Structure 1
Amino acid sequence: MIAMVDCNSFYASCEQVFRPDLWGKPVVVLSNNDGCIIAANKEAKQLAHIPMFEAVYKIKHILIENKVTFFSSNYTLYGEMSQRVMNILETFSPSVEVYSIDEAFLDVKGLSYIDMRMYGFEIKERIYRYTGLPVGVGIAPTKVLAKLANRMAKKIPKHEHVYVMDTDAKRIAALEWADIGDIWGIGRKHVKRLQAIGVFKAIDFVKLPLAWVRKEMTVVGERLWKELRGESCLEFMAVPNPKKAIGTAKSFGQKLPDLGRIEEACAYYITEVAEVLRAQKSCATYIHVAVYTNYHSTIDKQYSNRITVTMPIPTNDTFALIAQARKALHHIYKPGFRYKKVAVNLTGLIPEHYVQGNLFEKRSKISDSNLMHTLDVLNRKFGKTTVSSAMIGTRVEEWELIKKERSPRYTTQWRELMKIGV
């Protein structure tokens, strides 16, 4: 059996944990630069006239009229709260696969001797008691069925956010209940194709001939078909595979015409991705840098460009990566434009112990792993970019994302700890 644990309205729930005055009230979370709504709690979702992914400036008056509290994205808080949830889940199973920031699979096949429904309730209640976050728990024989069980746990009130699909009769009933679009892994294009041949429910899908599924939906569809029939096909990965590429692309809080501030933003983003690179003990062979103006603007001249640089030696050294990214940026930057975004991406990732030297590079240019380790330790202990490259500069507030409504980082910044008056 496999358990799927999913936090309910995760971003909004994280905000409400530290704002008990908002319990039971509509809350939404905004995208980068406070652009649009990307998350909402159940109270906000019940307000049908507040569309998801709509530009905030178009509906801000609606939010205010309906007394909806809105927050800028606080990814530091969400990431730390996610880690707390995952740490709790590890006390319930030795094998936990973190699927996303708010979802995880647990391998519970060795726990057949216990009451699975009570086990699910214990997971739910412990997470809520320790973190204040509500979760749903679905338990079933395969990953796809566990996702479906989780959906039923949250959508059908009588299940109280815990559902165990432990018999074939329950599996059949679940397939009869679920629309084809509810099935994990079946996207919009396949939904339209399946509906065109009369497949509207999950039960209709599993009745299709395997040969047709394999031909029309490839091996991916075949695995889904088998998983829904109770045959486990998707590998359980307690240890995630290393990323094949690591990058970030963020819009500036304001349009930047000068190269200096764009360089500082680029250096900051390189610092972020380099930390992730070192965390998975990899080195990058290539670095891609791109710049963009705002293509939604009707008054600005438009320009974008990108460039790829091959590192002399694959590395995860922040300073070496910044140096190459800076050279790349000088090649593609053109004066006379107001830039909205810079993007960096590291590819050609290889394990750090597989890196070969370069006959034509001096020894001093090879990454200093001890220095990078020291930087990572200090920044983890004292906060992000406590120690960093001088290229980042001191003008972060001039180009960083707009986050006027961001809540404090209650769990990671001493100066932002919650204060309680007596």
Structure 2
Amino acid sequence: MLGLADCNNFFVSCERVFKPSLAGRPVVVLSNNDGCVISRSNEAKALGIKMGEPVFKIMDLVRNSDVKVFSSNYVLYGDMSRRVMDSIRNMVPAIEVYSIDEAFIDFSGVSTEKLKVMGEAISRVTRRDTGIPISMGISHTKTLAKIASRLSKKYPRLNNSCFLEKDSDIRKVLSTFPVEDVWGIGRRYAKMLRNNGINTALDFCNASPEWVKSKMSIVGLKTWKELHQESCITFEDSVDDKKQICTSRSFSKELSNIEDIYQAVSYFASNCSEKLRKQKGVCSQIQVFILTNYFREDMPQCYQSIVVPIETATDSTLQLVKISCRALEQIYNPLFSYKKAGVIFSQISKKEETTGNIFCDFEVAKHTNLMSALDDVNIKYGRNTLVMAAQGVEKIKAFSNHLSKRYTTSWDDIIEVKI
């Protein structure tokens, strides 16, 4: 049996841990630069606030309904996620961290009679240890566990744990479960399925495997098999190295000066380089993109992107920043004002397994030693203690008008208790 532990409205729940007075009040958390809604309390959902909705469109509702708004505080959320995962890890045989607020659990060796109670215990203990509410779903496959977790959130009488074991129970649930909400069926496939009269997960199960494979390839067939209680998506208790590394961000205002965009792209490339070295990889391809603000209909729109191959795969921040900035020069147009930029590293391989290039135009050994020293200093004295000059000395300005404190990671923001 496999389980899914899913944190409820995770970013909102993190804020509520340190502000209990927000319980029962509509709360939303915004994306970078306070742009869009990325997390909602149940009360905010009841008001009709949609996921991904631009905040400027709901300001009247925010004011009239006393909605509490937070800027995204990823330092806090990341640390709270670690605490949740550590709490779960202490209670189960094996855990696969799937995202910042989700983890799959392998219940191999646990008798089925104990699973429902065990799911309730995991939810209860994690809430006690971290303050974060979680919903447990347990079933034969990952896809069915996802569905069970959704039911756990929807029906309070399940006591935060839904165990789907019997075939009759599974078919009953699937008969009313919207096909577009099944894990692995995206918007495009959902539209195709509905056009073919398949509206529920059970309708999808009743389709022939040949038809599913012809319309949705082997990926869709795996989803079909998972709903038939055949496990096809493997459990992975170790994290694979990333095949791509991306850093992107919206700016607090439109930028038309290339020097300002240089600093942003340099920072993004440096951030990607740091992540690349952490997984002991090198990259041989970079993509840089810039785009305008598509919400500003009064301004000309533009999206530019360029992919640059790298002759000598490297993890050197110096080289990767230089290549990224040269790429920016090729796509920058002074006639536009840009709202967002990003850098993507791809074609990543293990450094120890990568063949060297005798025609390399820089001294690899010196760069390796320099990057090692750079990382050591930043680990010891704090991130970005040493940076590339191209990044500038000031942080990229972003709107964070509703930012909470870093309660668990900063001594300056630690909670004070008055007696």
User: TM-score, normalised to structure 2's length?
Assistant: 0.92
Distance 2:309 2:198 in 1: 49
Q: Distance in 1 between matches of 2:334 and 2:42?
A: 47
294-303 or 175-184, larger mean C-alpha shift: 294-303
SS in 2 for 1:223: helix
Q: Does 1:420 align with 2:417?
A: yes
- Equivalent runs, 1:288-327 vs 2, <5 Å: 288-327=287-326
Per the alignment, residue 407 of structure 2 pairs with 410
Post-superposition shift, 1:336? 4.8
Work out whether residues 244 and 349 of structure 1, in 8 Å CA contact, stay in contact via their aligned partners in 2.
yes
Displacement of 1:288: 1.9
Q: Distance in 2 between matches of 1:303 and 1:156?
A: 46
Once the two structures are superposed, the pairs formed by residues 111-190 of structure 1 within 5 Å of their partners are 111-112=110-111, 115-190=114-189
Question: Deviation of residue 68 (structure 1)?
Answer: 0.7
CA positional deviation for 1:35: 1.5
Kept after mapping to 2: 8 A contact 1:3/1:108: yes
Moved more, 63-72 or 166-175: 166-175
Which residue of structure 1 aligns with residue 392 of structure 2? 393
Deviations 1:215-253 (A, max 9, x none): 222222222222111111111122233222111221111
Task: Give the Cα separation in 2 of the matches to 1:282 and 1:177.
Answer: 46
User: Where does residue 25 of structure 1 map in the other structure?
Assistant: 25
1:400 alignment partner AA: K
Distance 2:225 2:298 in 1: 54
Question: Residues 267 and 32 from structure 1, CA distance in 2 versus in 1: closer, same or farther, beyond 3 angstroms?
Answer: same
Contact 1:317 1:367 in 2 (8 A): no
Kindly state the Cα deviation for residue 380 of structure 1 after the two structures are TM-superposed. Answer: 4.5
Q: Deviations over 1:180-203 (max 9, x none)?
A: 233212233333333344433322
> What pairs up with 1:273-352 in 2 under 5 angstroms?
273-352=272-351
Instruction: Check the 8 A contact 1:383/1:413 in 2, yes or no.
Output: no
Q: In the TM superposition, what is the alpha-carbon distance from 1:159 to its structure 2 partner?
A: 0.5
Match of 1:40 in 2: 40
Task: Name the CA shift for 1:191/1:295 in 2 (closer, same or farther; >3 Å).
Answer: closer
Q: CA distance change for structure 1 residues 228 and 308 in 2, over 3 Å: closer, same or farther?
A: closer
Which residue does the alignment assign to 1:5?
5
CA separation of 1:382 and 1:6: change in aligned 2, threshold 3 A: farther
Pair 375,160 (structure 1): closer, same or farther in 2 beyond 3 Å: farther
Describe the shift of the 1:103–1:65 C-alpha distance in structure 2 as closer, same or farther (beyond 3 A): same
What amino acid is the match of 2:11?
Y
Unaligned residue ranges in structure 1 (runs of 5+): none
**1:416/1:368 CA distance change after superposition, 3 Å:** farther
Q: Secondary structure at the match of 1:109?
A: coil
- How far has the Cα of 1:302 moved from its partner? 4.8
RMSD over aligned Cα, in angstroms? 2.3
Secondary structure at the counterpart of residue 410 of structure 1: coil
1:84 is matched with which residue?
A: 83
* Counterpart-to-counterpart distance in 2, 1:316 and 1:148: 41
| Separation (CA, whole Å) in 2 of partners of 1:35 and 1:25 | 21
Alpha-carbon distance change, 89 to 379 in structure 1, aligned in 2, over 3 angstroms:
farther
After superposition, the Cα gap between the structure-2 partners of 1:146 and 1:51, relative to the gap in structure 1 and judged at 3 Å, is closer
1:261 and 1:395 in contact (8 A); partners too: no
Task: Tell me the alpha carbon deviations over residues 37-82 of structure 1, each in whole angstroms, 9 at most, x when there is no partner.
Answer: 121011211213x343332122212112111100111122212211
Please tell me the residue identity of whatever aligns with 1:118: V
Which residue identity lines up with residue 313 of structure 1 in the other structure?
A: T
User: CA offsets, 1:130-152, max 9 Å, x none?
Assistant: 11100000111111111111111
Per-residue CA deviation, residues 302-352 of structure 1 (Å, 9 max, x unaligned), is: 555333333342112222211222232333334454332222111111111
Matched length: 419
Change (3 A) 1:165 1:311: same
Task: Kindly provide the CA deviation profile for residues 137-186 of structure 1, in whole angstroms up to 9, marking residues without a partner as x.
Answer: 01111111111111111112210210112333332332234232332122
Q: Quick one: structure 1 residues 110 and 290, their matched pair in 2 at CA, closer, same or farther if it must change by over 3 Å?
A: same
Do the aligned residues in 1 keep the contact of 2:281 with 2:349 (CA within 8 Å)?
Answer: yes
Question: In structure 2, do the counterparts of structure 1 residues 361 and 318 end up closer, same or farther at CA, with 3 Å as the change threshold?
Answer: same
Against the structure 1 CA distance between its residues 60 and 353, is the aligned structure 2 distance closer, same or farther, given a 3 Å change threshold? same
Instruction: Provide structure 2 residue ranges, at least 5 long, that are not aligned to the other structure.
Output: none
What SS does the corresponding residue of 1:115 show, helix, strand or coil? helix
**Which stretch shifts more, 68-77 or 54-63?**
54-63
SS in 1 for 2:249: strand
For residue 2 of structure 1, report the CA deviation from its aligned partner.
0.2
Indicate if the aligned counterparts of 1:277 and 1:283 stay in contact, CA closer than 8 A: yes
Alpha-carbon distance in structure 1 between the residues aligned to 2:229 and 2:297: 54
CA distance in 1, matches of 2:118, 2:374: 42
Name the structure 2 match of 1:359.
Answer: 358
Letter of the 2:20 partner, please give it. P
Verify the 8 A CA contact 2:93 2:108 in the aligned structure 1: no
Cα separation, 2, equivalents of 1:125 and 1:382: 38
Work out the CA distance in 1 between the residues paired with 2:78 and 2:90.
Answer: 19
Q: Is the 8 A contact 2:287 2:344 kept in 1?
A: yes
Counterpart AA for 1:57: F
Match of 1:267 in 2: 266
Q: Are the equivalent residues in 1 in contact too, given 2:36–2:52 (CA < 8 A)?
A: yes
What is the letter of the counterpart of residue 23 of structure 2? Answer: W
